[in-house]
Amino acid sequence: MDKQSQSQTLNRALLALEKMEARLKAAENSQREPIAIIGLGCRFPGGATDAESFWRLLRDGVDAVTEIPAERWDVNAYYDADSEAPGKMYTRMGAFLDQVDQFDPQFFGIMPKEAHAMDPQQRLLLETTWEALENAGIAPDTLAGSRTGVFVGILGTDYADLQTVNDGINEIGPYYGSGVAHSIASGRISYLLGLQGPSLSIDTACSSSLVAIHQACLSLRSRETQLALAGGVNLILAPNPNITLSKNKMMAADGHCKTFDASADGYVRGEGCGMIILKRLSDALADGDPILAIIRGTAVNQDGASSGLTAPNGPSQEAVIREALANAGIKPQEVTYVETHGTGTSLGDPIEVQALASTLGAGRDPSQPLLIGSVKTNVGHLETAAGMAGLVKLIMALRHKAIPPHLHLKQPNPFIPWAQLPVSVPTKLTPWPQDAPLVVGLSSFGFSGTNAHLIITAPPASELKQVKAQIDRPSHILTFSAKSESALQELSQQIGNYLTKQSNGSLADIAYTTNTGRAKFAHRLSLWADSAEEAAAKLKAFSAGEEISGLVSGHISHNKRLKAAFLFTGQGAQYLSMGRQLYDTQPVFRAELDRCAALLRPYLPQPLLDVIFAQEGSEQDGLLDQTVYTQTALFAIEYSLARLWQAWGVEPFAVMGHSVGEYIAACIAGVFSLEDGLKLIAERGRLMQSLPEGGKMSAIFADEARVKEAIKPFRDRVSIAAINGPTNIVISGEGKLVDEICRSLEAEKVKTRSLQVSHAFHSPLVDPILDEFERAASTITYHQPQLRLISNLTGQPAMGDTVTNAAYWRKHTRESVQFAPAVESLIRLNIDILIEIGPSPTLLGMTQRIPGADQKLSVPTLRQGRDDWHQIFES
């Protein structure tokens, strides 16, 4: 091999090596990709039904421990201060959830009999999952078929035990197995939402929920899933676990967790449930999701052989924290606060604090010690849900930049060398230390020996997607739904109260969430408002049963997809500054109108937008009523309005237009491109503008036969221009003759009305331009309609090559508009909604006089003299 060949081979090898290194680095980075928490739902003791109420409980230093409720069991029957007393427990206390027996099975499509057999832990998981998805702005019904994973920590079997004890073996029914099986706790979530990612129920005792989150993060990083739901649940329904814990002397005699205190003698049990929604940070940013916090690193390990099966192991705790730090790429001194496992035991507390000091104390500024605390002093030990209580506490602490007080620390545990360790326990509400990183740790250690630790940070400003509207629109529409009228009223009250507290919040953000981030149920409500305060007032009025304008409610009794038709307005509906408010505040409409204006620039003497939005007294004032501008302006406005409706998800089943309106209908149907459509309408307007004045158009309110008879002597100079209804016929032609015909009919008690137009359209007076217009139309590229297009010429759906040739558009310019027959064609297509696309409704009024069409829902888009948004919202 010569030197040149050797050099080429070496270069190829080096290039291959570089590619391999790049792939390896990318793979390593993917394994460390941060995970965003984008939504959460929770239930905790003390009446905390969401993150904010839980934060208030923590902030105010509330101990939510109470005596065991009578509905759980008779505490007197099982209590004995003697820990050795058979079948007894030496505690009367616990931290409990309210109304765990309450559940709406029909909301989730579950039969009451099956719901009765379901462990309430499964019910709580369903409720908090739904709330977490809504908190993330994800409509739960949009996830069906997705690679979404479910990871749930669960351990308790109380409900299964109660059913066999209370009801007896003979009462076990078909739903018992699925009702109490832990695998179903996660599987039922996947089943009800149609999720097709992994679905795992995890039991590592007290570390279960953090291990579930760890597994969810691994699944996301490996791209096994696109979205993950993770959390844990714990309920205390039977006395058995309390009895065995008492025999092991793990419970605090006074019923309080005194973590890090000299009097620490065990923990008190607590209930709770929490679910979070997880997504890769890069995806969350790209999707514009709300980011509550970021999981930078996770780790899980096992004690292995140690001093005892259930005994805490310091070296293993140190190892799991170091691994989590390494996975997060975080230095030990960057961690400001750690939410500890902190069960309040004389053995466990010193071991855990020493492990934290060993792993996170090095290199720390003595003036900024590691802050530690335990939520168990507030709500007890939630066991399989303990990690969720700690996580929600951390999310809220990062949001509020404050650390809530750690309770029951009166005399520090003497077995912890506090003076030698760089740690401190905040016992009052503490502002986040100045300049301290917004980095926290979270530990959970299972009595099975499985340990878990998470490193979590606040979302840095650089990673938050900042989107600011150029000009916010003045009003927004909000939609709500529920499965019953009473639920809708209750929801309205709740949202009304929320909006009252958020009166300075972004109404646009609130509207986006209500409109896109919620499932749609049969009982519905929509309202438009200019502010959160106004929306709150309307919702409260509705919940109180009051009538109020700008709010509509109703019941959808079927799942039928309604058919809509777009009706495009013809000439005469234009007015100065039509659509101006939309142009200023609606990006889709603005972009489409700008595009039309740019494409029309070569064909018009003045820029189109200068003409549409002309100031009074300006050079462009009055140009809009010149046909050369009128027709192009109507095309541009109506095309942009149609695209706006489509952007909102309203797709037409059929389209039709009146005269010039058919050009936009044909364009939307795909007969010709926007470029060709604008070129054609500009030429049409130019040629019509070149016609001499003297023409006139008038509406005759009589049937077609009578009008034909009236114009018969003048049919070479006057013709029927439009059949707008059974007794609404428009004639067009020489002005003097049109006036003469009208006077003759008025003498016979027939009503007539002169139309304000610049030329006599659809009459013999346009004959001089037809040849030239047809030549222009022959330069256009035509396609078969992709939508049902109703022809003005025939009043029937366009078939074959009916509309795909220049001859058609020549005839369209000259012959009468068959509007009424066209509407009748829509009726035969079983159209439900007629949407008029135009600057002011003129066609809908005519449809009301056509039998069958008057029963359809009529929706105008804009109306002259009316606020653009108010009109759209009312529609």
Q: Bridge partners of 445?
A: 451
CA 707 to chain centre: 56
Tokens of 42: 């929770």
3-state secondary structure 237-303: CCCHHHHHHHHCCCECCCCCCCCCECCCCCECEECEEEEEEEEEHHHHHHHCCCCCEEEEEEEEEEC
Using alpha carbons, select from 850, 859, 851 the residue that is nearest to residue 832: 859
Inter-residue contact 492 to 525 (CB < 8 Å): yes
Q: Which residues of 437-455 are buried (b: 16+ CB within 10 A; e: fewer)?
A: bbbbbbbbbbbbbbbbbbb
Q: Bridge partners of 371?
A: 337, 424
Residue in this structure with the two tokens 């905040």, named with its chain if needed = 426
Hey, what long-range contacts does 253-257 have (CB within 8 A, 24 or more apart)?
253/81, 253/90, 253/91, 254/93, 255/65, 255/91, 255/92, 255/93, 255/94, 256/63, 256/65, 256/93, 256/377, 256/407, 256/408, 257/342, 257/343, 257/344, 257/374, 257/376, 257/377, 257/380, 257/381, 257/408
DSSP, residue by residue, 65-133: -EEPPTTT--HHHHB-S-TTSTT-BS--EEB--S-TT---GGGGT--HHHHHHS-HHHHHHHHHHHHHH
Known catalytic residues are 206, 341, 381
Residue in this structure with the two tokens 């035991």, named with its chain if needed = 345
Inter-residue contact 478 to 535 (CB < 8 Å): yes
Using alpha carbons, select from 560, 524, 566 the residue that is nearest to residue 650: 566
Residue in this structure with the two tokens 């570390």, named with its chain if needed = 207
Rounded CA gap, 449 and 207, in Å?
9
What's 693's DSSP letter?
Answer: S
Using alpha carbons, select from 674, 664, 670, 610 the residue that is nearest to residue 641: 664
Tokens of 639: 């095309």
Please name the amino acid found at residue 321: I
- Using only C-alpha atoms, what is the Rg of the chain? 36
Tokens of 71: 């509905």
Residue in this structure with the two tokens 């939510």, named with its chain if needed = 64
Rounded CA gap, 412 and 484, in Å?
54
